[in-house]
Amino acid sequence: MKPLVILTGPTAVGKTGLSVALAKAIGAEIVNADSMQVYRGMDVGSAKITVAERDGVAHHLIDILEPTQDFSVYEFVQYAGAAVADITARGKIPLLVGGTGFYIQALLKDVDFNEEKVDAAYRDELQRLAAQDPPALHRLLQQTDPQAAEEIHPNNLKRIMRALEFAHVNGSAISAHNAQQKQKPSPYNYAYFVLDRDREELYARINARVDKMMEDGLLDETKRLKAQGLKEGMTAAHGLGYRELLSYLDGAYSLEEAVRLIKQNTRHYAKRQLTWFRREPDVIRLDAGRCTKEELLRMIQKILMEKGILPVV
């Protein structure tokens, strides 16, 4: 089976620095699994790794789209699957790094999305409803697929619309389909590592990082993106930090309130990420708060040797 190493965890937990050190230690190339880092120009708000921070390690699926372009889990699996195949073919180990758990699960289980089934008229109807009354979409999903409504955040209009469209064209709930797909054996010999920290420490890191993003020009970055056409309804506009500052620029609330909401929403997102990863099978938890980077690397390499992903030395 093809090897695959996954390094994930909540936002601001410390994935970036560890991922580069791990890639250098095991001869890996990194495949991005963050839904916002695929966009060019969305650097500060996505905490995108810089060229200097990459330290010569090849990174895939970064800066591949314009912010006005659509991107979904379906596109992610196509891009990431091709990158993983290319890395493996060259004798390297693919290292999937990011915090978008649904993307990771979809690649890991080679999920079938039934994307060939489309009802354009129904899709247009959903898009009109999303523009007129966004909360109505989530209420409709609660009636159509209560399990999916519980799992999908009310603000994630793209996933809500996809769940509704799936039910419409297939006559069955997407939650049932996803549950079935999760039971599929993975085509990979994988190791799934989840970084974690004490909750209060993690929240303090999130708050500090938002402050640093504002100092580093997140507002100016958002202004530039808006001038380039980024607006409500686009995938990239739902990125944390960007959506709050876009609302500020539209006069919805003060800058101080926008920053407060960025911190609050990011903490809530981290909590949802942790809930997601707790539900995933076969994950290996690593305490980034109690272990040094060197200790984490030794633990990871030992497990990779036990799984046959690395040769025993």
We report the CATH number of the domain holding residue 138 as 1.10.20.140
Tell me: do 33 and 141 sit in the same domain. Answer: no
Between vectors from CA 266 to CA 261 and to CA 271, what angle results, nearest 5°? Answer: 130
Helix 134-144 with 120-132: angle, nearest 10 deg: 130
CATH number of the structural domain spanning residue 203: 3.40.50.300
How many whole angstroms separate alpha carbon 37 and alpha carbon 63?
7
Tell me, yes or no, whether 37 lies in a domain: yes
Q: Which two tokens stand for residue 187?
A: 């085509």
Please name the helix (run of DSSP H) or strand (run of DSSP E) that holds residue 4, with its range, or none: strand 2-8
d(CA 82, CA 89): 11
Domain boundary pick from 134, 162, 180: 180
Q: Give a yes or no: residue 104 inside a domain.
A: yes
Note whether 47 and 54 are within 8 A (CB).
Answer: no
Does one domain contain both 215 and 96? Answer: yes
For residue 293, the surrounding DSSP H or E stretch is helix 293-306
- Among 180, 198, 223, the domain-final residue is 180
Handedness of CA 4, 10, 16, 20 (dihedral sign): negative
Nearest to 160 by CA among 263, 233, 261, 75: 233
Digit-by-digit pLDDT tens for the chain (313 residues) are 899 999 999 999 999 999 999 999 999 999 999 999 999 999 999 999 999 999 999 999 999 999 999 898 889 999 999 999 999 999 999 999 999 999 999 999 888 766 556 788 888 888 888 878 888 889 989 999 998 898 887 877 878 888 898 888 888 888 887 777 667 789 999 999 999 999 999 999 999 999 999 999 999 999 999 999 999 878 899 899 999 999 999 999 999 999 999 999 999 999 999 999 999 989 999 999 999 999 999 999 999 999 999 998 7
Q: Is residue 288 part of a domain?
A: yes
Domains contained in the chain, number: 2
Same domain, 65 and 145: no
Boundary-marking domain end, from 135, 151, 180? 180
Angle at 118 between CA 113 and CA 124, to 5 degrees: 120
Neighbour-count burial of 105, counting CB atoms closer than 10 A to its CB (0-12 exposed, 13-18 middle, 19+ buried): buried
Residue 129 included in any domain: yes
3-state secondary structure of 81: helix
CA distance 298 to 257: 43
Q: How many Å from the N-terminal Cα to the C-terminal Cα in the chain?
A: 21
Residue 220 domain-assigned (yes or no): yes
- Do 231 and 284 belong together in one domain? yes
Cβ-count burial 24-53 (b if 16+ within 10 Å, e if not): eebebbbbbbbbbbbbebbbbbbbbbeeee
Considering the domain boundaries, does residue 313 fall inside one?
no
Q: What is the pLDDT of residue 126?
A: 86
CA 66 to chain centre: 17
45/11 same-domain check: yes
142 and 288 both lie in a single domain: no
- Where residue 299 falls (left for φ over 0; alpha for ψ -120 to 50; beta otherwise) is alpha
Round the CA-based radius of gyration of the chain to a whole number and report it: 20
Same domain, 157 and 205: no
- Indicate if 66 and 144 belong to the same structural domain: no
CB proximity list for 274: less than 8 A, separation 6 or greater: 10, 196
Query: Does 311 fall in a domain?
Result: no
Quickly count helices (H) and strands (E) in the chain.
Answer: 14, 6
Residues 61 and 197 in one domain: yes
Cβ–Cβ contacts within 10 Å for residue 124, how many? 10
Residues 6+ apart with CB under 8 A from 191: 4, 5, 6, 284, 300, 303, 304, 307, 309
Question: Do residues 101 and 14 share a domain?
Answer: yes
pTM score, two decimals?
0.85
Question: Range of 138's domain?
Answer: 120-180
- Counted residue by residue, the chain has a size of 313
Please report whether residue 312 resides in a domain: no
149 and 250 together in one domain = no
Are residue 98 and residue 146 in the same domain, yes or no? Answer: no
